[in-house]
Chains A and B, each alone.
Chain A
Amino acid sequence: MKTRIKELRARYDLTQEELAKKVGVRRETIVFLEKGRYNPSLKLAYDVAKVLKSDIEEVFIFEED
């Protein structure tokens, strides 16, 4: 899974800490999300997309094997 969190975060001038606080998770979780090493729940994906003013499909890019 790839994500555009870093790019969108930069667009809205948000730090990892600020984004984590807004969606109610730890900063480390945002780090792992950005690296594409953690598959979030639907709720977390929705919350992140909402904070980044985007659709879930724009933020999280799932690649089929």
Chain B
Amino acid sequence: METTKTDKIIGVLGIFFCVGAVALLMTTETIDITIILALLVAGVICIVAGFSRCLGYRKDPGTDERTRKLSAFAATYSWFITFMLVNILFLLDYFGRLTITVSQTLGVIFFIMLVTMFGMSAYLKQKGYVE
């Protein structure tokens, strides 16, 4: 299967992320290193995902109707779990059970989003179908 326009856009976006991260690192002294690392990781992921067909790693059609359906379900479950987590964090903070900074909250949310998305995706792909 040939590289699609979307793949190229994702790949180029990845390059921008990586270049942006390096530029931030060189020009700004006060910026949190976590942000730069997050940008770099996102950039590398985009480059690999975008240009994998060019490199010949994905000979099969990347997605079909079944995998798209599985991904949609995984994203839905991930969104729901993250939403519940945000509510739990809010309640814990409201009742004074947990003191958590904005950065920590964002970190936890990003982590849970990624873990649940990949976890649900892997589970559903192993199951093979959703009804």
Q: How far is the CA of A2 from the CA of B80 in the complex (A)?
A: 34
State which of A24, A25, A28, A41 has its C-beta within 8 Å of the C-beta of B128. Answer: A28
Q: Known contacts A26-B60, A27-B60: does B65 contact A41 (CB below 8 Å)? A: yes
Interface size, B (range): under 10
Q: Known contacts A26-B60, A27-B60: does B65 contact A40 (CB below 8 Å)? A: yes
Select from chain A the residue with minimum beta-carbon distance to B128. A32
State which of B61, B64, B65, B128 has its C-beta within 8 Å of the C-beta of A37. Answer: B128
Is B57 at the interface (CB under 8 A from chain A)?
no
Is B129 at the interface (CB under 8 A from chain A)?
yes
Q: Known contacts A32-B66, A38-B66: does B61 contact A26 (CB below 8 Å)? A: yes
Is B67 at the interface (CB under 8 A from chain A)?
yes
CB distance from B90 to the nearest CB of A (A): 39
Q: How far is the CA of A44 from the CA of B129 in the complex (A)?
A: 15
Q: Residues of B with Cβ closer than 8 Å to A?
A: 60-61, 64-67, 128-129, 131
